[in-house]
Chains A and B, each alone.
Chain A
């Protein structure tokens, strides 16, 4: 059974949530994390990539060197942190990578695109639960030049491709003011190789679909209308994205990884401190933020549910 502890908790001590630069040093330095949902999510990812390549993958031609750096970083990561699940053998420039969970072995010449059937970023992304975004740094800006994205929280890789950091974040309310977006960009451009960072983003989701793409919103968004005080615990899910940032030393790009975790509200609130804090945060959340996060239609129902649960403790 999945306990509430399997979910990374996104809030600090404060009962007021506002947008800020909430990135912290990633001490463990691991880009990739495997959960007990690994095989299911990998096969869902591969199915989406096959059926909807234009939606789930994009790359600019000049990203090949950076893509290989990502392959290097992630494979290294996998064999270091999960040596019983992944193996790598190197022989005269030839890499033999084995995934013992999917029982696959891939053999390729590192740096030689022709020895892989698909692009390097697409290849390695099919072995991890994380979505992978490559931001290239040029002219004092970060540009979304490549990405493999299967589990977006209601945004479109196709539309956002080749945008800079500010353009990507322009739909977020209040982000342009206070120079918040400028300060975050400056922070990102100073990230150094070997010193990765991590942040968490959260949202609510009516339903439990991981592939909540903007392209399919008219399908999965309907569930928002069905939320009641009675079914909220089961239907509504708390969603957390663990996002990590790595400088790629050779290409000077940044790898941005997104691992999406989800837990039903009824499991989430088993832990009373979480119930108490989340109730307080949701009650005080500014309208602009809950509108943006897509919670408006069912926020009252969720608050009623949480309040009733609080009374039982």
Chain B
């Protein structure tokens, strides 16, 4: 992942964090204040998707977005931002803690959580051993777990 850095010269900044990710943004907020550039700083507690959608869609071209927080939070806010018209180039993200991903069991379709270093895991629904693959379904938002015969 790219280094999480403050990029100067944007028209406006949005700083968005969950409670775990906020601290990392304080320096950036400071910087924006010194540069006298407009910004919003928000710690998102239980704001609804509808609220965020509305807020994102109010932003003008040239607005730059920083997201900092745990994986689930980042996934949700990034998805909403992309839907509201932000591109990957107009945002930076910082993930706090581990990235947990989903793995679908090829035998029972049960969903399991895994982290990046896992190569194998035992399906918590049916008990078979699954090999983690890079085959990804956007419909299921999950990777495919293959069984092996050995």
* Residues in A lying within 8 Å of B, measured CB to CB: 54, 156, 158-163, 167, 170-171, 214-218, 221-222, 224-225
Contacts and interface: CB of A to CB of B under 8 A. Distances in A.
Contacts of B107: 215-216, 218
B4 interface: no
Nearest to A225: B149
Contacts of B146: 214, 217
Interface in B17-69: none
Interface of B: 104, 106-107, 109, 128, 133-140, 144, 146-147, 149
Given A54-B109, A159-B104, A218 B136 contact: no
11 contacts: A156-B144, A162-B137, A162-B139, A171-B133, A214-B106, A215-B107, A217-B149, A218-B147, A221-B149, A222-B149, A225-B149
A217 B147 contact: yes
Contact of A159 (B106, B134, B147, B149): B106
A247 B133 CA distance: 33
A156 B139 CA distance: 14
Given A159-B144, A222-B149, A225-B149, A217 B106 contact: yes
A156 B149 contact: no
Contacts of B128: 218
Contacts of B135: 159, 170-171
Contacts of A215: 106-107
B128 to A, nearest CB: 7
- Most B CB within 10 A of own CB, among A156, A167, A221: A156
Nearest to B133: A171
A71 to B, nearest CB: 25
Chain A interface secondary structure, helix, strand, loop or mixed? helix
A54 B109 CA distance: 10
A215 B123 CA distance: 14
A56 to B, nearest CB: 13
Nearest to B135: A171
A156 B142 CA distance: 14
B144 A163 contact: no
A162 B138 contact: yes
Nearest to A294: B149
A20 B134 CA distance: 23
Contacts of B133: 171
A163 B137 contact: yes
Ranked 8 nearest A-B pairs via Cβ? A221-B149, A162-B139, A218-B147, A214-B106, A171-B135, A159-B144, A217-B147, A222-B149
A161 B138 CA distance: 10
Nearest to A156: B106
B106 to A, nearest CB: 5
A163 B138 contact: yes
Contacts of A170: 134-136
A289 B85 CA distance: 41
A162 B136 CA distance: 11
A170 B109 CA distance: 20
A167 B109 contact: no
A54 B108 CA distance: 11
B109 A161 contact: no
B106 A160 contact: no
Nearest to B129: A218
B106 A167 contact: no
A216 B147 CA distance: 9
A159 B138 CA distance: 10
B139 A161 contact: yes
A163 B109 contact: no
B137 A218 contact: no
A159 B143 CA distance: 9
A289 B140 CA distance: 28
Contact of A167 (B104, B136, B147, B149): B136
A144 to B, nearest CB: 10
